[in-house]
Structure 1
Amino acid sequence: MEIISGFVTFAAELTNGDIPEWVKIAPRGRVTARDGRVFDVSPEALVDRFKSEGISIPVDLNHATILKAGRGEESPAYGWIEELEARPNGLYGRVKWLARGRAILAERSHPFLSPAFGATDEKGRTVWLHSVGLVATPALVMPALASAQTHKGAPTNMTNSKLAEALGLSPDVSESDIFAAVADLKAKASSTSNVISSASEAMEVLSAEVGKARRSRIEARVDQAIKAGTATPALRDFCITLADLDEGMFEQFCAKMGTPFAYLSTPAITNEQEARFLEQRPKETSVTMSTDAQRLAAQLGIDVKSIL
């Protein structure tokens, strides 16, 4: 028989002298006790076993139904769990408290619940809730805010009320409504995340396109400066690097340099001068070469007649 105590504390629920009817017996899924034992709680499996047997589950003191009953000692019930319910955050039970149970809770001497699991399935999940004990020392520490419900359908505690308020819900909504609101908020957050991701990808593409356009503009501006005579072709890479770092600085460079290399792109003979020369040239011009020049041309394989 496996016993794990301290899943639930009633301290927060007893401030007004009320005895909770619905209590949280165990959380859902894998839990580790303070002594290192690991339990895999399946609320649905526990509820199915309870319904199939149709027997109320005793709430005893310090697991007396396990530790004392086997020795023939007295092990009275302090309450009876008459209904089990699987909820998103664990297993809950509706307890019919006996007078001695109400008295022990009022004294606060044993404020924690300790479920005793009697069997597990082939996957290691708990499938049988044997009993629940009121204990003073918990094996698993859980805050009081996760304790119990005073009636079915109400928030478990003050924290749930605050959570409901933060979600824009009525303070007295059920726990399932709170979980639904959280799930909806999570879905919206996921959708927003997808939108942000898509926008980020679009910005990356746009940034790349803007970068290409800027590079083309800078190269065109540098080529213009070279053509104007501000720089020579040998300085093209330098000018592109300067403009890429700071286009304003490159413009200042061009302004200070002026056009000292403009002559490189200016022909020595203008079109007008060439035209005038051709007009003034005699119609028939006789060109002769010296004997030495002709001999040199022959050695170089040049046809003198083709160039005269």
Structure 2
Amino acid sequence: MPRAVCQVSLPDQSTPPEWVHLLPMGTVRGVDGRGPYVLRDQAHAAQVIAASGTGVDLPIDYDHDAILPNGRRPIAAGWIKALDARPDGIWGRVEWTTAAAAHLTAREYRYLSPVIDHTRSGDVLRLRMAGLTNTPNLSALTALASQEQLDAMDLLVPIRAALGLPDSATPDQITAAAAQSRQAAQTLTGVARALGLPDAATPDQITAATQARTSPPAASNPPDPSQYVPMSQFTALSADLAAMRQRLDTDAAGQAVTAAQAQGKVTPAMRDWALGYAAKDPQGFTAWCSAAPVLVAPGTLAPSGPAPAAPGVGDQAVTAVCSQLGLDPKALTTPATKEA
């Protein structure tokens, strides 16, 4: 499970305190950004105390010599003899060694750093030990702190002001606001580059460049006539292009239908329908031709000789094909003129 090292300042007094504040109630984060660490209520604090009490006094060392690979032999500065769950967190009763008491009285050490186990979400599980240190981290542990230690949090005051946040903004809110400001700055840089401005262009410069591109030309700078054509000419040209496109589509449809007739899949009676289909949906007509059956001998554009008789009851194949195509079987008997 994750383990964290926190800090709390000790009071400035002639003798070391017997009871020290080890963990605060609520949700806190270290000044260095670690955390958050959560001690929900006194019931949760009682659970932490029960998990920490192994029947052996919890040690207090110097500078976390017992857990950090600093090459020094760990020496006890004191022993936590009892733990107590109070409204403001967990407190511990400490018996200091003579040497540690002298260091504290001389203010050679001023902070106590508890070591805790916690879940990935930050819930405190157990208090392991503590260490005397001079590098404070958890500013929320200030019940016994001197005013000098409280001043460390003043570093966040100008940051909140620069981000436009209230004095009550938490470190998480400050981090989120800083991320939004960074994203906005990156967006402005992209806009500046698109306008041909340097990356460091100010918002006022970006606004001016945008207005210059979107504003109509000044009366003193009339448009260049060589760059424009009269609307009448533009309209006529557009109409010519549309007529040309329609002729091309019609020619293409005629070629497709003629090819389908040559394959025997379109009869003369179907030509008008096929021309409309091919002109409206060339791809659909091509797909239909691929799947359509051969109705007349390939290469025959029109039947020759006397008109065939109307299909009778026995002409089941012709009748079935006409039914699928939506045609009147009698239409196949209508004489048609060969195409030139």
Could you say whether these structures have the same fold, taking a TM-score greater than 0.5 normalized by the shorter chain as the test?
Answer: no
TM-score after normalising by structure 1: 0.42
More helix by share: 1
